[in-house]
Amino acid sequence: MSYRSYKKKAEEILRKTGVEINGVKPWDIQVHNENLYRRILAQGSLGLGESYMDGWWDCERLDQFFYKILSAGLENMISLSLIADLIRARILNLQKKSRAFQIGERHYDTGNDLYQLMLDRRMNYSCGYWENASNLDEAQEAKLDLICRKIGLKPGQRVLDIGCGWGGFVIYAAEKYDAGAVGITVSREQVSLAEKLSSGLNVEIRFQDYRDLNEPFDQVVSVGMIEHVGYKNYRRFMETVHRCLDGNGLFLLQTIGSNKSDINTDPWIAKYIFPNSMLPSCAQLSRAAEGLFVMEDWHNFSADYDKTLMAWHGNFERNRQEIKQNYSERFYRMWRYYLLSCAGAFRSRKVQLWQIVYSKRGVAGGYRYLR
């Protein structure tokens, strides 16, 4: 096939999305290399992302581009190279203990300077709660407070955060609720900065895999970490929380969620952003928790992740010149693509954001859900 034939095929696929090649709308793509069409049709989403990183095409509003193509159901048509990944995910446990620290090394250790320029003042790298918030700092504070209220955190209690990041939740719990807090992470860079940020507080930060936990806590939370656990390990994750949680305590799980039970993730995301990751479905989480927990509350506020990602992207762009002192142009394009493609995915409702509250034996008289 000639490049004209590949281009014609690409135009046919895009026609129902409202996206045009070299059009004038901000979500239209501007093509700089005519080999793009062949690359995308051959390599799917991996080729789409890598060709953007290579400067083969541009788009003013990548978030709207992805919103449009995902809303039109093209995610399968641009993911043509998934067979090998599916087989690999079936055969291997990509998230086994010996691989647990890879995500820390490859993503969260990218550079504390980058995350400090992009995130809110408390360094939360998960969805904020925008119900009554007007900016990113307010949305993240509201999320942290909502978590504390949902688990009924009280002064003097001991709370565990599985996947604590730079300590946003554990520091908030210690400062605002006078709780003792333990946070674990698989990122050495996160440990280093979180220890500095939590200095003087009743907070302990550990470089530790969740499977090594075996001690009692009054309450347990995990925010944006189970996406790295993998479907073969969901049950063990839930058993670990069950083992550590007090009988009258609550477990709050915040996670990005999939509308269907997949066993792998997008090839580009897996290669460049979140290796060994996958999004759980409602069914997968329910099966993992069955017989261990009572599901007390399931709260979906997915649209808030679109706002959060756009706020991160705003910070990223405002600090572009400072970021580019330490990171290459290709990294800049990769990170922009990551943030805006994810915003488009949440906007199209192809992925969700859930806060789930579990108890070990049911809250007496019923759980009072909070929003």
Does 59 participate in catalysis according to the annotation? no
Q: Which residue in the list 59, 148, 244, 342 is annotated as catalytic?
A: 342
Q: What is the 3-state secondary structure (H, E, C) of the chain?
A: CCHHHHHHHHHHHHHHHCCCECCCCCCCEEECCCCHHHHHHHHHHHHHHHHHHCCCEECCCHHHHHHHHHHCCCCCCCCCCCHHHHHHHHHCCCCCHHHCCHHHHHHHCCCHHHHHHHCCCCCCCCCCCCCCCCCHHHHHHHHHHHHHHHCCCCCCCEEEEECCCCCHHHHHHHHHHCCEEEEEECCHHHHHHHHHHCCCCCEEEEECCHHHCCCCECEEEEECCHHHCCCCCHHHHHHHHHHHECCCCEEEEEEEEECCCCCCCCHHHHHHCCCCCCCCEHHHHHHHHCCCCEEEEEEECCHHHHHHHHHHHHHHHHCHHHHCCCCCHHHHHHHHHHHHHHHHHHHCCCEEEEEEEEECCCCCCCCCCCC
Q: List active site positions.
A: 342
